[in-house]
């Protein structure tokens, strides 16, 4: 009892007691610690307890012989997976380790999923692709155009493959009667790559067809691996016959696609790319025949019109001589009329010149008359100007007389000035005893101021 009391005292006296966390805070700290310490990684295992929720999310577990872990793959990620896993599938998941806080459960948030082993195959595919690309095996400049009208088609595929049925169905629809030669070969399994390459070389050596289709249906990366064989890619690149690759579906790519002259997304599309449409060819042929007929008819009509024109131009020599004589007569008549009109115009021109020709005496008389007229006009102009100047002078003289101060003085007025010559205008400025000068109309006078008054 004493020891327990001592321990309680020690805990109560501790300077920094541990914080008390809620379960939510603890789980949140654990999740953050996990996500910060464990990076995005690949995990391999067997799928179990797979469930697709109504929201589209996937929930499953990955297990091996000793342990298991829960996984979730949200709809935004699983729609790009390319397949839906099932219980028992062996897969590889690229995921971020985390903790589901609501339940405190450790789980993996899956970003990608692939079948186990597909990653290694894809890496091998990329290494081989890089190698062959560096050798120029996939150079676009080496790609050959397909013949527009192939006489025979060769097909490299398995006789039991669904791709063969798809190709033959498409050819029957587009170009019935087009000969087809099958070069049978397994398209998957051990040794399939070598057999596919051998069939391609056989087709090239026989030279029986104009276009070679290398095709098979869709499948996993392992199923299509025979078409990623280096021997297949080299056989396609070395083929003397243009090759169309139609392997898998639209999203599947193999080395055969890169080495071929043309890649088709499906076997059916390969058949469509390699063969023309019989119906369209017949329509084009009919259109060309109609164009040829119209061109021939236009040419025939044109030649007939040309023949008629030449026939009209064909004239008897006597008729040609008569036409030439008529032409000469017309020219002679035009020449005579032209000379007559020219002589008339020249006579009129000479008459105008004769009228304009004047003797020197007449010229002198005309100039004298012109000078007399100018002298009269000049005299009148001078008299008129002098009259205007006289009127102006009289007006200015009258104005000056009105402004002359002598005229004002003559009427009895006087100019009052101080001794210094300043004019007095206001009596208030004067004082008794001031001496002033008076300027009269005739003479001057001096006076003294006795008194002043301002009215």
Residues 302 and 193 in one domain: no
Report pLDDT digits (tens) over 372-388.
888 888 888 888 888 88
Bridge partners, 154 (sequence order): 181, 212
Does the residue 428 lie in any domain? yes
Lowest mean pLDDT among 2-16, 224-238, 329-343: 2-16
The pairing of strands 415-417 and 68-73 is: unpaired
- Gap between the Cα atoms of 78 and 245, Å rounded: 29
Residues 173 and 302 in one domain: no
Residues 133 and 265 in one domain: yes
Check residue 7 and give its pLDDT.
Answer: 44
Q: Residue 258: what are its φ and ψ, rounded to 5°?
A: -70, -30
Strands of the 262-263 sheet, one edge to the other: 180-184, 153-157, 211-216, 243-247, 262-263
- Gap between the Cα atoms of 65 and 45, Å rounded: 9
DSSP class per residue in 272-298: HHHS--HHHHHHHHHHHHHHHHHHHHH
The pairing of strands 211-216 and 153-157 is: parallel
Lowest mean pLDDT among 34-38, 44-48, 263-267, 429-433: 34-38
**How many residues in the chain?**
455
- The count of structural domains within the chain is 4
Q: Using an 8 Å Cβ cutoff, are 62 and 85 in contact?
A: no
Does the residue 382 lie in any domain? no
Check residue 119 and give its pLDDT.
Answer: 62
State whether residue 411 is helix, strand or coil.
Answer: coil
pLDDT band at 2 (very low <50, low <70, confident <90, very high): very low
Does the residue 196 lie in any domain? yes
State whether residue 53 is helix, strand or coil.
Answer: coil
- Gap between the Cα atoms of 262 and 144, Å rounded: 8
- Gap between the Cα atoms of 72 and 110, Å rounded: 6
Report pLDDT digits (tens) over 342-359.
888 988 888 887 777 666
CATH of the domain at 133: 3.40.50.10550
* pLDDT at residue 12 greater than cutoff 60: no
Six token digits for residue 122:
């894809």
Bridge partners, 93 (sequence order): 43, 113
Check residue 194 and give its pLDDT.
Answer: 93
Six token digits for residue 20:
């008390």
Does the residue 173 lie in any domain? yes
Does the residue 323 lie in any domain? no
State whether residue 47 is helix, strand or coil.
Answer: strand
CATH of the domain at 111: 2.40.50.140
Bridge partners, 95 (sequence order): 41, 110
Residues 106 and 151 in one domain: no
- Of 88, 116, 144, the residue that ends a domain is 116
Does the residue 385 lie in any domain? no
Residues 135 and 64 in one domain: no
- Gap between the Cα atoms of 62 and 94, Å rounded: 12
Residues 106 and 165 in one domain: no
Q: Residue 192: what are its φ and ψ, rounded to 5°?
A: -65, -35
Residues 269 and 206 in one domain: yes
The one-character DSSP state at 228 is: G
Strands of the 415-417 sheet, one edge to the other: 415-417, 435-439, 444-448
- Gap between the Cα atoms of 249 and 366, Å rounded: 117
Q: Using an 8 Å Cβ cutoff, are 244 and 273 in contact?
A: yes
Handedness of CA 206, 212, 214, 215 (dihedral sign): negative
Closest of 57, 60, 122 to residue 89, by C-alpha? 60
Check residue 184 and give its pLDDT.
Answer: 93
Q: Using an 8 Å Cβ cutoff, are 119 and 90 in contact?
A: no
Check residue 3 and give its pLDDT.
Answer: 44
Other CB atoms within a 10 A radius of the CB of residue 38 amount to: 13
Residues 177 and 258 in one domain: yes
**pTM of the predicted model as reported, rounded to 2 decimal places:** 0.45
Domain that holds residue 421: 409-448
Return the higher-pLDDT residue of 5 and 49: 49
Residues 173 and 87 in one domain: no
Q: Using an 8 Å Cβ cutoff, are 139 and 146 in contact?
A: no
- Of 97, 116, 135, the residue that ends a domain is 116
pLDDT band at 8 (very low <50, low <70, confident <90, very high): very low
Q: Using an 8 Å Cβ cutoff, are 271 and 170 in contact?
A: yes
Check residue 14 and give its pLDDT.
Answer: 53
Q: What percent of the chain has pLDDT over 70?
A: 95
Helices 230-238 and 192-206, axial angle in degrees (round to 10): 10
Residue 344, burial from CB neighbour count under 10 angstroms (0-12, 13-18, 19+): exposed
* pLDDT at residue 225 greater than cutoff 90: no
Check residue 198 and give its pLDDT.
Answer: 94
Return the higher-pLDDT residue of 144 and 17: 144
pLDDT band at 312 (very low <50, low <70, confident <90, very high): confident
The pairing of strands 243-247 and 211-216 is: parallel
Does the residue 175 lie in any domain? yes
Taking CA atoms, 276 is separated from 166, 174, 209, in Å, by 16, 7, 15
- Gap between the Cα atoms of 313 and 283, Å rounded: 45
Q: What is the mean pLDDT of the chain?
A: 85
Residues 266 and 291 in one domain: no
Residues 133 and 271 in one domain: yes
Q: What percent of the chain has pLDDT over 90?
A: 25
pLDDT band at 118 (very low <50, low <70, confident <90, very high): low
* pLDDT at residue 149 greater than cutoff 60: yes
The one-character DSSP state at 423 is: B
Does the residue 354 lie in any domain? no
Q: Residue 21: what are its φ and ψ, rounded to 5°?
A: -105, 150
Nearest-5° Cα angle at 294, 290 to 295: 115
Closest of 270, 164, 162, 253 to residue 213, by C-alpha? 270
- Gap between the Cα atoms of 13 and 83, Å rounded: 63
* pLDDT at residue 104 greater than cutoff 70: yes
- Of 116, 145, 179, the residue that ends a domain is 116
Residues 154 and 253 in one domain: yes
* pLDDT at residue 454 greater than cutoff 80: no
């Amino acid at each position: 009892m004493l020891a327990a009391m001592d321990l309680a005292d020690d805990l109560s006296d501790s300077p920094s007691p541990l914080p008390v966390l809620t379960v939510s805070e603890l789980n949140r700290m654990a999740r953050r610690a996990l996500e910060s310490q464990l990076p995005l990684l690949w995990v391999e295992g067997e799928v179990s307890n797979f469930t697709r929720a109504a929201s589209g999310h996937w929930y499953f577990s990955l297990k091996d012989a000793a342990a298991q872990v829960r996984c979730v793959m949200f709809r935004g990620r699983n729609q790009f997976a390319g397949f839906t896993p099932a219980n028992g599938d062996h897969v590889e998941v690229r995921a971020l380790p985390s903790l589901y806080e609501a339940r405190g459960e450790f789980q993996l948030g899956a970003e990608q999923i692939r079948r186990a082993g597909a990653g290694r195959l894809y890496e091998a595919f990329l290494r081989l692709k890089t190698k062959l690309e560096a050798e120029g095996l996939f150079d676009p400049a080496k790609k050959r155009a397909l013949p527009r009208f192939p006489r025979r088609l060769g097909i490299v595929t398995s006789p039991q493959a669904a791709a063969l049925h798809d190709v033959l169905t498409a050819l029957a629809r587009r170009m019935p009667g087009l000969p087809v030669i099958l070069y049978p070969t397994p398209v998957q399994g051990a040794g399939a790559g070598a057999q596919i390459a051998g069939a391609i070389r056989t087709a090239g050596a026989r030279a029986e067809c104009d276009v070679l289709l290398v095709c098979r249906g869709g499948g996993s990366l392992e199923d299509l691996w025979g078409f990623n064989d280096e021997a297949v890619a080299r056989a396609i690149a070395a083929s003397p016959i243009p090759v169309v690759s139609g392997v898998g579906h639209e999203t599947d790519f193999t080395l055969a696609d890169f080495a071929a002259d043309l890649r088709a997304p499906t076997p059916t599309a390969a058949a469509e790319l390699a063969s023309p449409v019989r119906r369209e060819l017949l329509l084009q042929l009919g259109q060309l025949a109609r164009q040829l007929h119209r061109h021939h008819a236009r040419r025939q009509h044109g030649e007939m019109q040309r023949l008629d024109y030449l026939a009209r131009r064909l004239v008897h020599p006597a008729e040609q001589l008569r036409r030439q004589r008529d032409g000469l007569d017309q020219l002679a008549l035009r020449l005579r009329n032209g000379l007559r009109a020219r002589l008339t115009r020249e006579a009129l021109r000479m008459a105008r010149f004769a009228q304009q020709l004047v003797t020197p005496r007449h010229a002198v008389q005309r100039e004298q008359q012109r000078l007399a007229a100018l002298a009269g006009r000049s005299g009148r102009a001078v008299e008129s100007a002098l009259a205007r100047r006289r009127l102006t002078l009289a007006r200015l003289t009258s104005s000056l007389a009105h402004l002359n101060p002598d005229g004002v003085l003559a009427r009895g007025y006087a100019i009052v000035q101080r001794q210094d010559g300043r004019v007095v205008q206001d009596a208030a400025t004067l004082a008794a005893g001031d001496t002033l000068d008076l300027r009269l109309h005739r003479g001057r006078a001096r006076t003294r101021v006795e008194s002043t008054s301002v009215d």
